[in-house]
Structure 1
Amino acid sequence: MSNPAKRIPVHLITGFLGVGKTTAINHLMAQKPEGERWALVVNEFGQIGVDASLLDAGDGIQVKEIPGGCICCALGLTLSVTLVNLLQRFKPDRLFIEPTGLGHPAGILDLLQGEQFNEVLELHPVITLVDARQLDDPRVMAHETFQDQISLADILVFNKSDLATPEQTALAVQQAGQLFPPKLAVLTCQQGQLPLSVLDSAVQLIAASREQKQVIGHETTGSLIRQGGVTLPFLAMPQPGQPVCQQGDGLGAYSVGWVFHRDDAFDEDCLYQWVDQQKDLLRLKGVFRVGSKTWRSFSKVGSELVVQPVAYRRDSRLELISEQPLDAAALQQQLLAMTYKPAPATLFD
């Protein structure tokens, strides 16, 4: 299917073990508009599936279960086959994927946006559920999967707010607001009671921002738009080869930042060299796509550079802070010179 307007919306809903993903999905399923066909792929780590039996597969809802491992890794081929069968036989209007709480969901994003499905499925913002009380558990905080789930989330939902203390919830929301890259939205809810509007708010507002955006030179003025109980900060959306640039100054410092389209990949060797050449900065931090399925976070203070793999997949972005004004146009030319269009990711990469 080559017409993007007819692509099927797909929603990836992640979260660590016991956070209430199944309850939240049940609540969304109960709000399904009459006449629509929804499909859900649910993955359990254990060999005996239980989650699917807890889901209310009502009229117009098809549930497929993949037990016995992680669809993000060992069961990737099984997920691909399951999706093809669902799309061909059930022809859903909307698709949901709930990976196991122990899964690495970045692999699912790579599959959904790879050459097999990118013309058929439209990936909507990733929703990650978190129990604010988990932030007090060092085992959870240190778990690589938990960190990946937080990193790749577009919308972060602190569920079970009725069970957490007000102090735990407030601290969780405060810490979420300090994450880089920033989230599209940070929400709280009880018993997984997400509004149906959370599924489409981000996509609708992105389209609206393209019509309402104000561009001054290289600087784009974003806005805070409230819709369906979800507050989302927006810059104009970048296009391939056309990053969005934003500049600011205050408190004796100057900043410039860019957001690049996810299809703009960076030559990794050139990127390392360029970062090394940036000597007179107070701070450099960014997330870059450096291959079909490879993303890196860069953080530099002074001469100390830390580079790590990251699960984030929404876009590439960079922020520079300096005591002196920065030549945004020249820097942008240097950055674009390092970009290329990567080959589509495949299941067997």
Structure 2
Amino acid sequence: MKLVTSSQAIPVHIISGFLGAGKTTVLKHLLSQKPEHEVWAVLMNEFGQIGVDQQLLPQDHGYAVKELLGGCLCCSSQMPMQIALSRLLSETQPDRLFIEPTGLGHPAQLLEQLTEPHWQAHLNMRALLTVVDGSRLHDTAWSQQNLYADQLKAAKIVAVSHADKMSAADEQALAALQAEYQPYQQVWRKISMGELKLADIDQPYSGTARKIQPLLRVQQQLSQGEAPPEIKQLPYHYVETAQGYSVAGWKMPKRWVFDFYDLLDLLCEQKNWLRIKGIFQTNAGWKSFNFNPEQFNYQSSAENIDNRLEIIYQQEHEWLQFETLLMNCRTDDGK
């Protein structure tokens, strides 16, 4: 795919956030800071087929706005996004680019796409920004959704919008959220009316060392020197390291069913961890697990798209034995 851009890589900002968090308001304020001599571009993604947000942005000279309608550019086929982005860059040759995914998007997947080798000469990725609605932090049904958590984990900068409308319960929930995500070493900023300075988010993107690999028991069966197969579907295992913390996770097919009490016992038996979070289909229904060293919480959960588990340690850990025990908790046919 041919790109016609300036010789210098363009700074690119991804502004993510759950539905109604205030992403577009933040984007409008950032666009108001454009130097007069520059051209800035915006790629917006609406989940539906009718674009609304584009009409809310400045239409003056110096801005180029393009919408990608229908679906999510983070998780659907990459081709529409690749084409839309290439066309936007070729036609406008902007000095700076903003990308606003749908509130139903997974920004980490978009970031993976835009940091692939063929984009690196053209795009200078900046720190990923996620906007959360501070006035809704007290609503655990809202803030504990898996997608909400995925967006927060991807962020390096978290803008807490509607800070002027936060209640005492919201403030308490914010403190708990910051403590929960402390291993991710994020910068948190309270804002009102979307007022965020460009200098506050114009920080370099720093990717974490992440390896998505086959399950450890599969890797163990490979002959010496044989490369692990490329991961194209579930199940898989990953390890992510950042700022001295080690995060290990598993994503497994939705059809896998686990024995609830065996799984609960296994998780409760682990030692020296900082955080355990998971959601599983069990023989007692869908269950979510949210453990911190002070409290082991688990409850019935809505049906999820897959089984998943994430454990945070502050040191390296040997995971093969744990994964073997985890697989032994399955009650389905084992395929």
Aligned counterparts, 1:88-167, within 5 A: 88-167=90-169
- Please say if 1:319 is aligned against 2:314: yes
Q: Could you say what secondary structure the match of 2:111 adopts?
A: helix
Unaligned regions of 5+ residues in structure 2, if any?
A: 221-243, 251-265, 280-311, 320-335
2:9 is aligned to 7
The one-letter amino acid of 1:303's match is Q
Q: Is the contact between residue 158 and residue 169 of structure 1 (CA under 8 Å) also seen in structure 2?
A: no
Query: Pairwise mapping of residues 112-261 of structure 1 onto structure 2 (< 5 A)?
Result: 112-169=114-171, 171-200=173-202, 202-203=203-204
1:303 aligns with 2:270: yes
| Map of 1:286 onto structure 2 | 246
C-alpha separation between the residues in 2 aligned to 1:62 and 1:271? 50
Offset at residue 286 of structure 1 (A)? 2.1
The residue number in structure 2 matching 1:265 is 211
Compute the displacement of 1:303 (Å). 3.4
Residues in 2 aligned to 1:288 and 1:10: alpha-carbon distance in whole angstroms: 29
Q: What's the CA shift string for 1:205-250, capped at 9, x where partnerless?
A: x9xxxxxxxxxxxxxxxxxxxxxxxxxxxxxx8xxxxxxxxxxxxx
Q: Structure 1-normalised TM-score? A: 0.60
CA contact (8 A) 2:136 2:170 kept: no
Amino acid at match of 2:270: S
CA RMSD of aligned residues (A): 3.6
Name the SS of the counterpart of 2:61 in structure 1: coil
Cα 1:16–1:29, aligned 2, differ >3 Å: closer, same or farther?
Answer: same
Q: Percent identity?
A: 33
State the TM-score, normalizing by the size of structure 2.
0.62
Unaligned regions of 5+ residues in structure 1, if any? 207-236, 238-260, 275-283, 291-298, 310-316, 321-330, 336-349
Corresponding letter in the other structure for 2:68: I
The runs of 4+ residues in structure 1 deviating greater than 4 Å are 266-274, 299-302, 304-309
1:265 match: secondary structure: strand
For residues 243-275 of structure 1, what are the alpha-carbon distances to aligned partners after superposition, in whole Å with 9 as ceiling and x for unaligned?
xxxxxxxxxxxxxxxxxx64563766569999x
Find the residue that maps to 1:136 and give its secondary structure: coil
CA distance in 1 between partners of 2:85 and 2:41 (Å): 10
1:266–1:288: 8 Å Cα contact kept in structure 2? no
Distance of aligned partners of 1:165 and 1:74 in 2 relative to their CA distance in 1, 3 Å threshold: same
State how many pairs are aligned. 242
Identify if the C-alpha distance between structure 1 residues 307 and 188 changes in structure 2 by more than 3 Å, giving closer, same or farther. Answer: closer
